[in-house]
């Protein structure tokens, strides 16, 4: 079964993913390519924070959740309007 699975999904080399250096030891990647890794960490952190915020909001009673969403997320006014 392992051989059949490997035949369907041939293994790809990881060589192209390894960092490359010149003869002096300087990294050959462009600054933009190097920033991708740091942006990945930032994106993962923001996704984790958003997930935790959604979990916390979901635990609020409906009354408080509605008020929080309307005021803080939808940026609606909290001013009382007497009609």
Q: What pLDDT, in 10s, does the model give residues 12-30?
A: 777 777 778 888 888 777 7
Whole-prediction pTM value? 0.44
| 65 close to 71: Cβ distance less than 8 angstroms | no
Residue predicted with more confidence, 55 or 32: 55
- Name the residue with tokens 């909290």: 78
pLDDT at 12: 73
CA distance 22 to 74: 52
Most confident range (mean pLDDT) of 2-6, 9-13, 64-68, 72-76 is: 64-68
* 37-66 as b/e: b if 16+ CB within 10 A: eeeeeeeeeeeeeeeeeeeeeeeeeeeeee
Query: Which H or E run includes 34?
Result: helix 31-59
Average confidence score pLDDT of the chain: 80
């Amino acid at each position: 079964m392992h051989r059949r699975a490997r035949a369907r999904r041939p293994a790809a080399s990881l060589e192209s993913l390894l960092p490359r250096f010149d003869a002096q030891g300087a990294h050959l990647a462009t600054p933009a390519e190097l920033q991708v890794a740091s942006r990945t960490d930032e994106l993962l952190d923001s996704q984790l924070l958003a997930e935790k915020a959604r979990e916390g909001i979901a635990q609020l009673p409906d009354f408080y959740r509605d008020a929080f969403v309307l005021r803080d997320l939808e940026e609606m006014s909290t001013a009382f309007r007497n009609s």
